[in-house]
Amino acid sequence: MNLPALQSFMQDRRIDAWLVYDFRGSNPVLSRLVTLGTHLTRRVLLLIPARGEPRLAVSPLDINQFKQAEFPVEQYLGWQGLRDWLATSLAGVSRVAMEYSPGGNLPICSFVDCGTVEMVRALGVEVVSSADLVQVSAACWNGEHIVKNHLEASCKVAGVKDAAFNYIAQQHRAGKHPMEHEVAQFIRDQFKAQNLQFPDGPIVGVNAHAGDPHFEPSADHPTPIKPGDWILIDLWARLAGDDNIHSDITWVGYAGNTVPDKHQRVFNAVKAGRDAAVAAVQSAFATGRPIQGWQLDDAARQPIIDAGFADFIKHRTGHSLSPGPAVHGLGANLDNMETRDTRQIMPDTGFTIEPGIYLPDMGVRLEINMYVCPKTGPQITSCVQDEPVLVV
């Protein structure tokens, strides 16, 4: 965390303090700001003032979980002690940011329960959302070495993707029909061989399964991949370490020499949507215009709507890519469908662009990764698919 930059950002937005509240690991933001143990049993408070040194309030029962904390650790005893600490620490504070979203508009930014927000408000303090504070602290990539590691992961993930499609083709040439779950295991084996970390997945879906955005291949429901089938592969991994960023891509292919006209039309519409979002974010930064997550979602969806596939859009256009164990990060999402993400796309953050069309018998999703370089603006950091893979 770049504390001076964060505090400057808070001052610009008239936020007096940021109060990060956690109960038993309920708030993933805390672990991105402070080095802590793995077993939190009581309430934890991190107060970051717009001026001055941050400090933590923890229960005596959890004090050993904060031996490596970067900030001073103070103890509170019991519920009254916690309230006294809050009252003292927030004396003179007018506006405090918390992981709270007015109206529940952004669930990804809403980790604090209503009762705790009410407790802070009862002290005469205005509570505002910390959504953008999270972006400039926990969601930033923080260093050229992190970008380099992400690019390395992207290169390796792209290679595994190529190997997976080649594996299917080799099996077909040998007269065999590999199962979806067998290809998924092949990908996991390749990741392990290259020392890449992945929390779950991948998705390998054929035909109608490609029309299910979160399909999970399973040996319990084996499905063969045969010549003439449409194939979607969604895979993600990173170099080891919670500071590193996942590379998360989705490609599609056809097990034959010529892509059917219908499949090509769907592919072209999704590609147009993806490229429209890329153009929108690059244009915004080139001209110095702020742009928000919902606007990029609209940019990507419009070509798909124009192509007549509005009824087959099932999810937002993209998610944040940020440090931490989760593939979906803490920054702005490209979303004006599931939520209206009004967070601004900020320098030193990353995200996916992954529009999709999902028909009953097939689906297309084309997922790429982008990073907003503070010096040169938004850049694509993953491989980009411009035609379906011919798996022959």
- Tell me if 304 sits within 8 A of 250, measured CB to CB: no
CA 111 to chain centre: 16
Q: Is 288 exposed, middle or buried (0-12, 13-18, 19+ CB in 10 A)?
A: exposed
Give tens-digit pLDDT for 243-259. Answer: 999 999 999 999 999 99
pTM: 0.92
Q: Which residues of 66-75 are buried (b: 16+ CB within 10 A; e: fewer)?
A: beebebebee
Two structure tokens written together for 121: 């408000």
Low-confidence ranges of the chain (pLDDT < 50): none
Residue 358 forms beta bridges with which residues?
363
Predicted local distance difference test score (pLDDT) of residue 38:
82
Strand partners, 43: 23
Q: Give the tens place of pLDDT for each residue, 261-282.
A: 999 999 999 999 999 999 999 9
Domains parsed from the chain with CATH numbers? 3-137 (3.40.350.10), 144-390 (3.90.230.10)
Cα gap 284→290, rounded to integer Å: 6
Mean pLDDT of the chain: 96
Two structure tokens written together for 104? 């529940």
Question: What pLDDT is stored for residue 43 in this prediction?
Answer: 96
Write down the pLDDT at residue 1.
Answer: 78
Do residues 196 and 238 lie in contact, with contact meaning Cβ atoms separated by under 8 Å? yes
DSSP 110: -
- Percent of the chain at pLDDT > 90 equals 94
Give the rounded distance of the alpha carbon of 317 from its chain centre. Answer: 12
The pLDDT value recorded for residue 169 is 98
pLDDT digits (tens, 9 = 90+) for 329-361: 999 999 999 999 999 999 999 999 999 999 999
> According to the model, what pLDDT value does residue 37 have?
86
Omega of the bond prior to 107 within 30 degrees of 0, cis?
A: no
Residues in the chain: 392
